Structure 1
């Protein structure tokens, strides 16, 4: 397929910002997604952990694009973050729009564990999200997964929006180096955009990562992850909750990308 865009464009940012250096990105729908190998992504996020100011890392999949198309607050939050591609849907989209897949699948659950193991030196962590008790269990698991780091605080994600500021202040008092926030989309990204600078930490929006690490929710079998069909495993486990996201959402995503492709070609 002939690329519609000859190469991903580049955006530059101040070194203290979330996207802390010139980074090639591809526009997938309304979201600028970084075009990075796994090694490049790990090094870039580690550099962000060593920086100051507002620093946000978010992951984007087909469902994320559908949400961003209709949610201005989520689009604005993504604009403040280093956005990494997650899942086969974004590869399909980039092939349709630019003629090539992303260099690597930076799936959020695997990438977060890889990152914590990759970062040199000891860092302090705050875990925010999931149901009561899950973050604490995830913290215990992380002492085995990445023992060089120390969890300094945990908080479940079941608090009202009226407490957002108080939670940010609580985190800021503990002065963690990294905050892992798993409150689902779009809440976690919007919360990060509003409060990351206040916390003084690198904030990673990590979805269901705490549930997986804590053992509260099972990962797909390795063969399904290798085939990039983890979404199908999740649909089988929670068909009622995820039917709209996958069975309806995936065709909507592809239709949206097809429309984007037509608009690009018409120019």
Structure 2
């Protein structure tokens, strides 16, 4: 995929709550991101966004602004519903980080040095071990757990600089991870930065994935709710209806805006 094709892919996005979200299928997304690593300059920051994250953007202007600069991939059935309502069709694929990141490591044939930041020390260490088993041609390095001083991350940044990474994977929870990466990770630190939420918990085995049939039905959120009801009930029981309300509201607001533009052009 050449530079012109890369720009074509970047232009193929659907706006949800004023955040451009890539509408790529699995293969196109893997090829595109792998090609970005081969380009001679620049840095790409990738965020995986679900319905809960989208609701955050409505009350967190800085988070929404950062996502607008990042390459945003759709995660979960909520984004499909939003795309269907706002644009007429669902996204081509569910590019959730828990599945996509291991698939990307497998897809990248050229060995890369990959740093991990986030989670508890034993969790991120086990995640690194499992990543090495999954794609042993890459060099996986634990830069830091997620419990360093966020106000003075100089020691962590020095370690990132020393390692000369190709890829940096940050799992510190949304929106902290996106804001931290935006403010502290420079282009010369890593060519590709991915903010991945709870990925290390899943890869390490600390939190079990839903059975494949449940994932195929796009019901992993319900499985997670059953596993951690006290932590997640508000996100799903309250968050889903609130999200659907804002999806419909956004659809009518977008439609009114387009109609106003058409009327202005017709004058």
- Whether the TM-score (by the shorter chain) exceeds 0.5 is yes
Q: Could you tell me how far 1:131 is from its partner in structure 2?
A: 1.2
1:144 partnered with 2:130: no
Q: Could you tell me how far 1:21 is from its partner in structure 2?
A: 2.3
CA distance in 2 between counterparts of 1:231 and 1:164 reads 33
Q: Structure 2: which 5+ runs fail to align? A: 260-267
1:216 partnered with 2:206: yes
CA distance in 2 between counterparts of 1:228 and 1:49 reads 30
Would you say the 8 A contact 1:129–1:156 is kept in 2? yes
Other structure's SS at 1:41 match: helix
CA distance in 2 between counterparts of 1:39 and 1:160 reads 38
1:77 partnered with 2:77: no
Cα 1:160–1:244 shift into 2, 3 Å:
farther
1:50 partnered with 2:61: no
Other structure's SS at 1:45 match: helix
Structure-2 residue corresponding to 1:5: none
Of structures 1 and 2, the larger Rg is shown by 2
Structure-2 residue corresponding to 1:96: 85
Would you say the 8 A contact 1:29–1:65 is kept in 2? yes
Other structure's SS at 2:114 match: strand
Q: Structure 1: which 5+ runs fail to align? A: 1-14
Other structure's SS at 1:151 match: strand
Aligned residue pair count: 249
Equivalent residue runs for 1:229-248 within 5 Å: 229-248=219-238
Task: Output the TM-score relative to the length of structure 1.
Answer: 0.89
Please provide the CA RMSD for this pair: 1.5
Structure-2 residue corresponding to 1:172: 161
Task: Output the TM-score relative to the length of structure 2.
Answer: 0.89
1:21 partnered with 2:7: yes
Structure-1 residue corresponding to 2:111: 122
CA distance in 2 between counterparts of 1:72 and 1:167 reads 27
